């Protein structure tokens, strides 16, 4: 039975382990195409990640159990900063960690649950999606990107450098052992009703954050780091992005509204429409066990 076959109305929980599929290429959304840049008016966002009192249950309930130890982030804003209009729908997240995993929980208001890409490494940001960018040593190069849509389809890649610094992106990298759970309050791909929200939970293994066997030389500090977990009080550079499209309905199905760009809503502003400027990512500090 496929993921789509499992979808049912109202608070469906879909636990998923990422599956392998085909590769794809990046688009303007993730490249260094010329974009107007806003004046940087704020420091990057910060978040203190509590050490988990126990592994959180990935069940969509992020106000109870281990998740209760973590604070919600501020609401996400426009990727270009607060001078732009506030997002149409709310997005917030929380994080936990232990010796093995970085746990991420996200809550997204969404009136139109929509996704059709069901094969791994398709470019899921061509539809609604959510994304995390991780630079463990904060050197603004050698970083990881993981994206997911409401069906649980994963697009994950590794970059030696930002695109403007020559990249390239390695789509062969997979976040091995990634655990994903999605719950929806609504019905996916059904324009006949108004949906409410979806929640995403990730357990990202620290051991998976290792560069792939490269087609080009890669003996940088990220390979030497070896996928080890952070130490208490260590700080990583991380950012999150939500991609949202304006939709119309044709013949009972969602379609993108013509000639309308996507919205990009982020935890820490990027000051331009480009997630691949790691210097603007937020600071995530790992707290010791209490």
Place of tokens 């994080």: 95
The lowest-confidence range among 10-14, 43-47, 58-62, 236-240 is 10-14
pTM for the whole structure:
0.88
Q: Output the six-digit token pair for 238.
A: 């991380």
Q: Which fold has domain 3-286?
A: Immunoglobulin-like (2.60.40)
Average pLDDT over residues 157-183: 94
Band of residue 37 on the pLDDT scale cut at 50, 70, 90: confident
Q: Output the six-digit token pair for 104.
A: 């991420």
Buried b / exposed e across 51-83, counting CB within 10 Å, b at 16+? ebeeebebebbbeeebbebbeebeebbbbbbee
The lowest-confidence range among 154-158, 220-224, 232-236 is 220-224
The per-residue pLDDT for range 255-279, each reduced to its tens digit, is 999 999 999 999 999 999 999 999 9
Residues in contact with 259: Cβ distance below 8 Å, sequence separation at least 6, in sequence order? none
pLDDT for 21 equals 37
Average pLDDT over residues 183-196: 98
Tell me: pLDDT of 8 over 80: no
Domain boundaries, the chain: 3-286
pLDDT for 6 equals 31
More confident of the two residues 55 and 36: 55
pLDDT for 156 equals 98
CA atoms within 13 A on the CB side of 280: 24
Band of residue 214 on the pLDDT scale cut at 50, 70, 90: low
């Amino acid at each position: 039975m496929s993921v789509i076959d499992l979808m049912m109305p109202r608070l469906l929980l879909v636990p998923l382990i990422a599956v392998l599929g085909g590769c794809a290429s990046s688009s303007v959304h993730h490249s260094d195409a010329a974009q107007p840049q806003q004046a940087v008016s704020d420091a990057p966002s910060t978040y203190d990640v509590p050490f988990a009192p126990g592994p959180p249950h990935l069940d969509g309930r992020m106000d109870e159990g281990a998740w209760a130890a973590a604070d919600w982030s501020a609401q996400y804003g426009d990727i270009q900063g607060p001078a732009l209009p506030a997002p149409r729908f709310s997005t917030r997240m929380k994080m936990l960690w232990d010796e093995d995993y970085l746990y991420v929980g996200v809550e997204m208001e969404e009136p139109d649950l929509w996704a059709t890409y069901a094969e791994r490494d398709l470019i899921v940001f061509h539809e609604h999606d959510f994304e995390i960018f991780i630079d463990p040593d904060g050197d603004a190069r050698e970083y990881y990107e993981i994206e997911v849509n409401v069906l649980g389809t994963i697009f994950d890649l590794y970059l030696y450098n930002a695109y403007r610094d020559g990249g390239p992106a390695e789509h062969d990298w997979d976040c091995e052992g990634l655990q994903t759970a999605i719950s929806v309050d609504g019905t996916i791909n059904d324009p006949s009703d108004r949906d409410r929200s979806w929640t995403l939970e990730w357990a990202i293994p620290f051991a998976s954050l290792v560069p792939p066997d490269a087609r080009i030389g890669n003996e940088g500090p990220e390979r030497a780091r070896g996928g080890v977990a952070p130490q208490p009080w260590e700080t990583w550079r991380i950012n999150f992005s939500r991609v949202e499209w304006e939709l119309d309905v044709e013949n009972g199905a969602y379609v993108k509204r013509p000639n309308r760009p996507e919205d990009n809503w982020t935890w820490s502003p990027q000051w331009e429409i480009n997630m691949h400027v790691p210097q603007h990512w937020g600071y995530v500090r790992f707290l010791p066990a209490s």
